[in-house]
């Protein structure tokens, strides 16, 4: 195995690195080759950043290579614009993919030849049934599929039809090429999956040369092999597709053109999503095209173009991805983790300067002459952390701390923040009040003698006395003098939504008929606030890409699109600290939801040991309420930690505390930690719903049966394959033509009726979200 000690490791040890180390140790592969294969049908977002960090990071850690390869097999949705944006984003993140970007379309001829090879082996056939009929013939999770009437076509007939498909003799949907695998397989993906389909559309790279295109499953496995990939890493939703991947390699690898490359193998990791935003390309497009944001690079979006324009550095994104890590389950990441990574990155690269965002004019009545004040760019804590004793200037030069200063002017007229003065100060207010004093940062103390108001009673000016450096004052505020003040626009960006999970909230509030646009009701009206104030003129000498900490206001930089020397525009990259929970109010028209009380007492003060355990549980992603209970209750903690040997603790905590808590406390739990872990993994993978998990737990506790045995006996796995559900959707719509007409006439509330009918036909096992998407598409 290649030693890792000689360089900094990017990706923390995990189950995938264990596999790689064993492969290197055993000689299965001599060099690690991974790939990052985005589809060029949209802009890259933070989810892509995390996935690319895993692919490129693991290759880096083991001295291997990572390919950047566009998965461009769908000409109807892909564009050169998206491919170019993806390449730019990956380059911005700092990834190195060698001498060229690769494209699935580079290999269309080789892929076609491999498809013919499967036909010649009797392992693929041209099918001519409709998509609806194909879905029906595949069967269900409980019943095997039925062979298509075209499944036994001869090799010669299949080869002739496939070549005529390529020649453009048929229209879209008339034929497909399917693998001949196993129509009785419990893995629905193996029931003769589609390998090629007809699409008469212009491809952004190959034009009209092709009118048949490979499916995702066929293209991924074969192009991985052609690219010499050893470890094909993908998100958990493709776990069932791995069987197709392996089947293709069983029958194609080892023969030309795959006779000189290592055999690739697929491994899945949990997908990461982020609070207070959406990463669905469809929903991002709705935000952009609906005018809710100002383009794909709007700094409120989770697109890499957006976070780059906001001012986030790639180092911060890589830091964030490293902290998120890799696990076997999907999870939503606390956005505070991203914000903390951005602050940590900027802390030592962003010089401190002063800016007043909402100015209040102050006249120092007794200051006859301006004073020059030298202010440091860096606070003592950053100076102490400098390994060489030097600190950077905004222009990039490193100098001793005593030289890292700039000159500002204390003049008879200056500006302070409106919030730094109060007529009716709250208790503990340490800024300026009528008759009160405050210290101007490094410039002495002032006392407010009088104030002026406008017709509405708003304070518009202060008259103050300058008391000098030696006077006493409790608080310190920042300021900008009128002699140094440069006008600027400040764009204060905040979280895009008012709730952590806008999509889930929309579904929860309207389970009967959730609308795809419902998530928009949770848009944060304060996600962008534009104010106009002043920044000190020292910044005019700095490179425009300089990031600053505007003292007491947050981290900022000049907007790279709209800012000009004669009209400065600054974007707030991130506030100085998270005040979100205290600042948001309930959106209009939305009642505050009662919070579920934790099932165990939490009023006791934690001991030092309990506090340490509580913090450890929070670090694992366990919600605060459950972490508090676990920190105080030894029995529950031991049960969770035993189950966490096989499943992530964050996926187990709610089940342990809220579902099994009473039984564990009384010593009457009939479910083992291993049994709970297996159930939690199914829940996290989406194979069962939360409702199924709770029902199974209740029955297992009542009967003593293993939870997985109950699921197998009752066939409770959630049905999510669109191809299997399409036939049921069509059946329901055909049975209710009058309701279909009413829905199309505007009675969209009937969506709940249609969903309910499909759910009834599947005994509640269908994934309601998938059903709704299919219905909406069919009813459009």
273 CA to centre of own chain: 4
Residues 495 and 502: their CA atoms lie apart, in Å, by 12
CB 458 within 8 A of CB 359: no
Give, in degrees to the nearest 5, the angle at Cα 687 between 686 and 691. 80
Give 36's Cβ-side CA count (13 Å radius): 28
Active site residue 281: yes
Residue with tokens 């049975």: 735
What is the three-class DSSP state of 297? Answer: coil
DSSP string, 637-691: HHHHHHHTTTS-HHHHHHIIIIISHHHHHHT---S-HHHHHHHHHHHHHTSS-HH
DSSP structural state of residue 521: G
The token pair at 264 is 């690739």
Residue whose C-alpha is closest to residue 325's, from 683, 14, 58, 8: 14
The token pair at 37 is 């294969």
CB 115 within 8 A of CB 162: yes
CB 409 within 8 A of CB 370: yes
DSSP count for the chain of H helices, then E strands: 27, 29
CB 650 within 8 A of CB 621: yes
Burial class (CB in 10 A: 0-12, 13-18, 19+), 430: middle
DSSP structural state of residue 518: G
- 551-575: burial string, b at 16+ Cβ within 10 Å, e else: bbbbbbbbbeeebeeeebbbbbbbb
Stated as kind and residue range, the H or E segment containing 371 is: strand 371-376
CB 552 within 8 A of CB 441: no
DSSP structural state of residue 523: B
Beta-bridge partner residues of 469 = none
Residue whose C-alpha is closest to residue 318's, from 92, 522, 563: 92
**SS3 of 408-423:** EEECCEEEEEHHHECC
Count Cβ atoms below 10 Å from residue 287 Cβ, excluding itself: 20
76 CA to centre of own chain: 25
Beta-bridge partner residues of 294 = none
CB 570 within 8 A of CB 488: yes
Residues 442 and 252: their CA atoms lie apart, in Å, by 73
Residue whose C-alpha is closest to residue 555's, from 311, 321, 356: 311
Residues 361 and 470: their CA atoms lie apart, in Å, by 24
Phi, psi of 520 (to 5 degrees): -70, -20
CB 46 within 8 A of CB 3: no
CB 309 within 8 A of CB 250: no
Residues with Cβ within 8 Å of residue 536, at least 6 apart in sequence: 353, 354, 355, 406, 408, 480, 484, 485, 486
Residues 341 and 131: their CA atoms lie apart, in Å, by 47
Residues with Cβ within 8 Å of residue 641, at least 6 apart in sequence: 649
CB 488 within 8 A of CB 535: yes
Q: Could you say which of 39, 65, 505, 659 is catalytic?
A: 39
- Among left, alpha and beta (phi > 0; psi -120 to 50; other), residue 691 is alpha
| Extended strands (E) in 662-769 | none
Q: Could you say which of 79, 91, 281, 286 is catalytic?
A: 281
CB 125 within 8 A of CB 180: yes
Q: Could you say which of 9, 166, 271, 778 is catalytic?
A: 271
Residues annotated as catalytic are 39, 271, 281
């Amino acid at each position: 195995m290649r030693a890792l000690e000689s360089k900094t490791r990017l990706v923390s040890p995990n189950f995938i690195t264990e596999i790689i180390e064993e492969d290197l140790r055993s000689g299965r592969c001599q060099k690690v080759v991974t790939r990052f294969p985005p589809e060029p049908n949209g802009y890259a977002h933070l989810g892509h950043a995390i996935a690319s960090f895993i692919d490129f990071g693991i290759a880096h850690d083991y001295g291997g290579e990572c390919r950047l390869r566009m998965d461009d097999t769908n000409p109807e949705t892909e564009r050169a614009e998206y491919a170019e944006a993806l390449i730019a984003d990956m380059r911005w993140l700092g990834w190195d993919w060698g001498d060229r970007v690769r494209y699935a379309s580079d290999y269309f001829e080789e892929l076609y030849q491999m498809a013919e090879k499967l036909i010649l082996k009797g392992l693929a056939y041209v099918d001519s049934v409709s998509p609806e009929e194909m879905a029906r013939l595949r069967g269900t999770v409980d019943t095997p599929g039925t062979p298509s009437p075209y499944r036994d076509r001869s090799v010669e007939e299949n080869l002739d039809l496939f070549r005529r498909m390529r020649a453009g003799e048929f229209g879209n949907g008339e034929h497909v090429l399917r693998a001949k695998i196993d129509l009785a397989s419990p893995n629905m993906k193996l029931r003769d999956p589609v390998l090629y389909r007809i699409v008469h559309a212009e491809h952004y790279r190959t034009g009209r040369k092709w009118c048949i295109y490979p499916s995702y499953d066929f293209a991924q496995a074969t192009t991985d092999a052609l690219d010499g990939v050893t470890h094909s890493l993908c998100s958990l939703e493709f776990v069932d597709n791995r069987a197709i991947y392996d089947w293709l390699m069983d029958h194609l690898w080892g023969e030309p053109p795959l006779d000189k490359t290592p055999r690739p193998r697929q491994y899945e990791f949990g997908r990461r999503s982020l609070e207070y935003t959406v990463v669905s390309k469809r929903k991002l497009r709705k935000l952009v095209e609906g005018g809710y944001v100002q383009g794909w690079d709007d700094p409120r979006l989770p697109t890499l173009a957006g976070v780059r324009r906001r001012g986030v550095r790639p180092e911060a994104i890589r830091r964030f991805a490293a902290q998120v890590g890799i696990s076997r389950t999907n999870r939503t990441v606390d956005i505070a983790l991203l914000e903390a990574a951005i602050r940590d990155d900027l802390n030592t690269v962003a010089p401190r300067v002063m800016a007043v965002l909402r100015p209040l004019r102050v006249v120092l009545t007794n200051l006859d002459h301006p004073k020059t004040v030298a202010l440091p760019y860096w606070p003592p804590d950053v100076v102490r952390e400098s390994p060489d004793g030097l600190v950077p200037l905004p222009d990039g030069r490193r100098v001793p701390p005593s030289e890292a200063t700039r000159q500002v002017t204390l003049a008879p007229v200056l500006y302070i923040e409106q919030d730094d003065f109060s007529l009716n100060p709250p208790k503990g207010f340490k800024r300026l009040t009528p008759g009160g004093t405050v210290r101007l940062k490094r410039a002495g103390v002032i006392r407010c003698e009088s104030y002026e108001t406008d017709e509405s009673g708003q304070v518009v000016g202060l008259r103050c006395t300058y008391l000098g450096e030696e006077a006493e004052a409790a608080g310190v505020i920042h300021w900008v003098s009128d002699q140094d003040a440069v006008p600027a626009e400040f764009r204060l960006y905040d979280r895009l939504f008012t709730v952590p999970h806008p999509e889930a909230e929309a579904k929860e509030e309207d389970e009967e008929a959730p609308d795809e646009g419902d998530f928009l009701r949770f848009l944060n009206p304060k996600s962008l606030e534009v104010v106009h104030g002043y920044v000190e003129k020292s910044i005019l000498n700095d490179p425009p890409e300089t990031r600053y900490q505007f003292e007491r206001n947050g981290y900022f930089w000049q907007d790279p699109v709209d800012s000009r020397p004669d009209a400065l525009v600054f974007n707030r990259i991130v506030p100085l600290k998270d005040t979100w929970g205290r600042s948001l109010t309930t959106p209009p028209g939305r009642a505050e939801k009662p919070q579920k009380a934790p099932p165990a007492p939490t009023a006791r003060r934690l001991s030092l040991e309990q506090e340490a355990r509580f913090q450890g549980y929070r670090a694992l992603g366990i919600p605060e309420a459950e972490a508090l209970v676990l920190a105080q209750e030894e029995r529950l903690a031991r049960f969770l930690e035993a189950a966490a040997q096989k499943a992530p603790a964050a996926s187990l905590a709610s089940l342990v505390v809220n579902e099994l808590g009473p039984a564990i406390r009384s010593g009457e739990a009939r479910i083992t930690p291993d049994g709970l872990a297996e159930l939690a993994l199914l829940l996290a993978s989406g194979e069962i719903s939360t409702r199924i998990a709770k029902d199974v737990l209740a029955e297992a506790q009542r009967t003593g049966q293993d939870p997985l045995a109950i699921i197998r006996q009752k066939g409770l796995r959630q049905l999510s394959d669109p191809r299997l559900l399409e036939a049921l959707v069509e059946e329901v719509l055909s049975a209710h033509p009058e309701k279909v007409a009413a829905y199309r006439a505007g009675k969209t509330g009937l969506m709940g009726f249609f969903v309910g009918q499909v759910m009834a036909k599947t005994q509640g096992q269908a994934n309601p979200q998938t059903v709704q998407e299919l219905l909406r598409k069919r009813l459009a």
